[in-house]
Amino acid sequence: MPLTYSACSHSKSIHCAIAHSSELNQIEGWLSVLTNTYAKHPSNGLAKVIAYYLKRIIKHDDFTAFANQPCHYFSMLKFWQEQIQ
């Protein structure tokens, strides 16, 4: 998966897949900033932070209620975990 897909498309997928939950929207915002920053300045530490926030979304109480396509989150998490290794 090319970096431009991971950084740009993932942030758009996150925005579309989660409905309205203020905490989830806040995490989405952070992920958007983090993935855009990673696209310009890739680092292992930043990939870890992105994976952390994806885990927070997946473990969130509202995740199953609001996620239209939960498999996208698991795919994104796998991608970012691979970037860490």
Q: Number of folded domains in the chain? A: 1
pLDDT for 67 equals: 65
Task: Say whether pTM exceeds 0.75.
Answer: no
What's the rounded Cα separation, in Å, for the pair 8 and 66? 22
Tokens of 13: 């997928």
Stretches in the chain below the pLDDT threshold 70: 1-20, 65-68
Domain, as residue range, for 28? 3-84
Dump the DSSP string for 6-71: IIIIHHHHHHHHB-S-HHHHHHHHHHHHHHHHHHHS--HHHHHHHHHHHHHHHHSTTHHHHBS-HH
Question: Which residues, listed in sequence order, are joined to residue 18 by a DSSP beta bridge?
Answer: 67
